[in-house]
Structure 1
Amino acid sequence: MHLLVTGGCGFIGSNFIRHMLESHPDISITNLDVLTYAGNPANLRDVEDDPRYTFVQGDICDRSAVDGVLDQYHINTIVHFAAESHVDRSIADGSVFVKTNVLGTFTMLDAALAHGIDRFVHVSTDEVYGSTPDGSFVETDNLNPSSPYSSSKAGSDLLALSYWHTHQLPVIVTRCTNNYGPYQYPEKLIPLFVTNLMEGKKVPIYGTGQNVRDWLYVLDHCRAIDFLLENGQPGEAYNIGGGEEKTNLEITDTILRLLDKDESAIEYVEDRKGHDFRYSLDFSKLRKMGWEPAFSFDEAMTATVQWYIDNEWWWRPLKEGSQ
């Protein structure tokens, strides 16, 4: 497999590259990343000397750059992570989300078609379905996104699937729940709260903290994408979940307990605009194919918190640089 990973210096992409190098001895991986604020080469410092791995700095919106990478590295498989993904940033300015998530995905799809790519995995999010007070979304449910971020991802999902229906480009779409684990940029809930508590700061909870998300350990997400590279059917979408629905307050309580802190560290703040109350995915389609999460929430959260404790060298420069 000659694999191109877009956005491989990001949180999920870097974990995926590491997983694939560990699991597939004969693979070659090219990582195309423009290195925005969330793209960090330090995420892959431990594999940068692996002869099977190559990093290329470039923009997925730049067709000539994409064509050059596909040609030079004889790419036959693409896993497309590259995206702007922070809801709060999309509320402040949605333009970069439309450019990267919609135009960038279109550029990748069109180049993949021109180069005869064998498999294209487009990595998306549960947020495209919108919020639901009860029940869980299946892959055939209508998309009902509510933020500029999730709307741009929904648009890119539809573009990806259209390339199968119109051109027979062998595309599959994956939609995952909230990921957590090592190397997650510390603007997201779990790394922000862990590192704030390590710095003696409070943790900001939107509204009442009762918003519900399903939590998926990033290594389980990587395993699922690897599984679908082999077993997914072109033109299909697949939900990937952790089966661990928690309120934001429950996640906070877990972090407080693991760091031996109490509720005095919580600071309730004004709720996010248009804050979706609950995301929930039915991922029985993937389960019936033979994939299951391998990590329990308790063991994965414990390992995650410990990783941030042990790797202050990684997160502290990021937090200081964003202040």
Structure 2
Amino acid sequence: MERWLVTGGAGFIGSNFILAARREKRAEILNLDRLTYAGNTANLESLESDPGYRLLPGDIADRDLVRKALADFSPAAVFHFAAESHVDRSIEGPAIFLRTNVEGTFSLLEESRRYFDALPSNEKGRFRFLHVSTDEVFGSLSPSDPPFNERTPYAPNSPYAASKAASDHFVRAWFHTYGLPVLTTNCSNNYGPFQFPEKLVPTAILSALKGKDVPVYGDGMNIRDWLFVEDHCQALFRVHERGVPGETYNVGGGNERTNLQMVSALLTLLDKKRPRPDGLSHLERIRFVPDRPGHDRRYAIDGSRLRRELSWTPAHAFDQALEKTVDWYLDNEAWWKALASRHEAGTRQGLIAGGRP
């Protein structure tokens, strides 16, 4: 069985990827994760007794640690998920996004290049470095613009998007300059199990379950293309298997929805599955809040290349996947309540130390 080094595997997409890889017996996994606020070892509790999975706490910017991990584990592929990814946090504090997304990716590329160059010739042919990125690097679309494709010029509008765009360019350069066999994917907005509660989908679900207002930025008309995380993981497997080194593949769900439509669909499902005690609709909890600075109006992905060249299509219909997501949060209260407790404890500690909550 192959061995894969996965970075950021305790996060939302990374943990879903690892769970799928082990469930399908695709590879043994070494998960290198710094375990920041968004990294949650509880996501991978089901693998605690799995001999084919191991967690290595650490920072991708730690060159010595990465070098040793590559040398000791001898992976046939590196899947790079590790990133700071929340736009609001990037506006409030962009420095960590530069460190993790740019400097961290640079360190990982350099150590992967060192490792690759030392591989025997028969192992070089199968080694891959797969860099997982975002559609936000392309900027914002108007309602009449065609979706982003692999040739869309980069135009990042937030510190987060700029940091991911920079990391994409470094990955491309390490292929063209050094011959490192890289693959890049740019995905649309993901949703599904294990998503950190600060993102739109879990925010809507959990706010309603707690009896709180459900916040929606601006007029709620910002449009995103929604991709179920389990489908995204299968796309990454396909890109790893069949993708051409040096190439980029866009991964989209083909489900454009406004934020208001998305939140309304989630709350309508909750009306059916977990009605309010007072008999009112969860939809009445929607509250519009001031928009964030530089909020991109629309993202949309043209995923035709992935379908055409690698024969991948999403396996889940949008309504089916959305219901599956709501069911997961309803069935896993212990998971999200533990996260809430951890966040509240961290906030209290910050206040005691005189820091910002």
Flag whether TM exceeds 0.5 (same fold).
yes
Alignment of 1:182-201 (within 5 A): 182-201=193-212
1:66 aligns with 2:66: yes
1:136 aligns with 2:147: yes
Distance, in Å, in 2 between the alignment partners of 1:22 and 1:75 is: 19
Q: Counterpart of 2:80?
A: 80
1:159 aligns with 2:180: no
Q: Which runs of 4+ in 1 moved over 3 A?
A: none
* CA offsets 1:129-151 (integer angstroms, 9 cap, x no match): 00011211111111000000000
Q: How many residues align?
A: 322
CA contact (8 A) 2:268 2:283 kept: no
Give the fraction of aligned pairs with identical amino acids, expressed as a percent. 50
AA aligned to 1:72 is: D
AA aligned to 2:80 is: H
Q: Counterpart of 1:126?
A: 135
Distance, in Å, in 2 between the alignment partners of 1:254 and 1:267 is: 15
Q: Counterpart of 1:24?
A: 25
**SS of structure 2 residue aligned to 1:138:** coil
Q: Counterpart of 1:13?
A: 14
Distance, in Å, in 2 between the alignment partners of 1:322 and 1:58 is: 21
Q: CA deviation at 1:28?
A: 1.0
Distance, in Å, in 2 between the alignment partners of 1:137 and 1:303 is: 28
AA aligned to 1:265 is: R
Alignment of 1:276-295 (within 5 A): 276-289=296-309, 290-295=311-316
Q: CA deviation at 1:320?
A: 3.0
Q: CA deviation at 1:76?
A: 2.1
CA contact (8 A) 2:149 2:302 kept: yes
Distance, in Å, in 2 between the alignment partners of 1:320 and 1:29 is: 29
* CA offsets 1:58-112 (integer angstroms, 9 cap, x no match): 1000000101111111122100000000000000000000000000000011111
AA aligned to 1:123 is: V
AA aligned to 2:56 is: V
Identify unmatched segments of 5+ residues in structure 1.
none
Larger radius of gyration: 2
AA aligned to 2:294 is: G
Which of 287, 295, 300 pairs up with 1:267? 287
Q: CA deviation at 1:317?
A: 1.9
Q: Counterpart of 1:115?
A: 115
Q: Counterpart of 2:45?
A: 45
**SS of structure 2 residue aligned to 1:18:** helix
Q: Counterpart of 1:223?
A: 234
1:245 aligns with 2:256: yes
Which of 169, 186, 192 pairs up with 2:180? 169
AA aligned to 2:3 is: H
Distance, in Å, in 1 between the alignment partners of 2:283 and 2:316 is: 27
AA aligned to 2:205 is: V
CA contact (8 A) 2:208 2:282 kept: no
Q: CA deviation at 1:47?
A: 1.0
* CA offsets 1:25-79 (integer angstroms, 9 cap, x no match): 5x21100001000000000000121111111001000000101111111122100
1:232 aligns with 2:233: no
**SS of structure 2 residue aligned to 1:78:** strand
**SS of structure 2 residue aligned to 1:46:** helix
Q: CA deviation at 1:124?
A: 0.1
Q: CA deviation at 1:319?
A: 2.0
AA aligned to 1:14 is: S
AA aligned to 2:4 is: L
1:148 aligns with 2:168: no
* CA offsets 1:238-257 (integer angstroms, 9 cap, x no match): 00000000000000110111
Identify unmatched segments of 5+ residues in structure 2.
117-123, 272-280, 345-357
Question: TM-score, normalization: structure 2?
Answer: 0.89
**SS of structure 2 residue aligned to 1:45:** helix
